[in-house]
Amino acid sequence: MRSNPIDLYGARTGNCLRVAIALEEAGLPYRPIGLNLQQGEQQEAKFLALNPAGKVPVIVDRTDNDEALVLTQSNAILLYVAEAVPGTLFPVGGARQRAIVYERFCYFLTDVIAVSHAAFHLRSDGQKGASPQALDLRAIKALSAAERFVKTSTFVAGETFTLADIAAVTIAFALERHIDWSMLPQLHRWYRAVMARPAVLRGLAAFGARQG
């Protein structure tokens, strides 16, 4: 039993927005607690007690009978939410359907999001030049290749909305202006439909990324 909302510490970043969208889609009550990363609030002692790495997102889940669960790592949190509310972020069905979701989820995490984050970090470290640009192009190319996932299905891993769509939509939102949508009619159809989901809009608005 959970009578308290989950505390979600976060900021307006893809890692945090994925978690907010997952909580919204799963219908779990939560309380977004925004941290100002530019002002270094993630390094304050109170927050470091929750996550010594000084990074968001972090959730604190106080279920009635157990000790509070403190979880860091956005994707571990997504899997936790998916398991906590069956039938919301995984397809109903067996291991085969679930395997496709894992495959696509990992595709967006490793081949698109991680590459885009690497470009972001190179830029923040002051490395302008070709390397961050090459990584950006690689991330955009990998995201564009997802056209094939939605050619014959409604969502990126089949006929139901899943974790894989959450991973895909946050990075598509971040790269929106750099994608040649005219070449990707099915991905564009998918993007518009996912961006119109009330839970996705509420999740994106949790830390002020978009008005809900």
Ligand X SMILES: N[C@@H](CCC(=O)N[C@@H](CS)C(=O)NCC(=O)O)C(=O)O
Quick check: 116 binds ligand X (CB under 6 A)? no
Q: Which residue has the tokens 């989901």?
A: 197
Q: Which of 15, 160, 162, 170 binds ligand X (CB under 6 A)?
A: 15
Q: How far apart are CA 164 and CA 155, in angstroms?
A: 9
Quick check: 51 binds ligand X (CB under 6 A)? no
Quick check: 42 binds ligand X (CB under 6 A)? yes
CA 40 to chain CA centroid, Å, is 22
Cβ at position 95, least distance to ligand X in Å = 25
Q: Which among 113, 180, 182, 193 is positioned nearest to 153, based on CA atoms? A: 193
Backbone angles phi, psi at 39, to 5 degrees: -90, 5
Identify residues 119-178 at the interface with ligand X (CB under 6 A).
none
Q: Is the dihedral of CA 83, 149, 161, 179 positive or negative?
A: positive
Tokens coding 29: 């009550």
**Helices 163-175 and 185-195 sit at what angle, rounded to 10 degrees?**
100
- Which one of the spans 50-58, 85-93, 149-157, 183-191 is the region binding ligand X (CB under 6 A)? 50-58
Nearer to ligand X, 163 or 184 (CB): 163
Nearer to ligand X, 4 or 73 (CB): 73
Quick check: 13 binds ligand X (CB under 6 A)? yes
Cβ at position 23, least distance to ligand X in Å = 14
Quick check: 54 binds ligand X (CB under 6 A)? yes
Identify residues 56-75 at the interface with ligand X (CB under 6 A).
56-57, 73-75
Quick check: 37 binds ligand X (CB under 6 A)? yes
Q: What is the DSSP letter of 39?
A: T
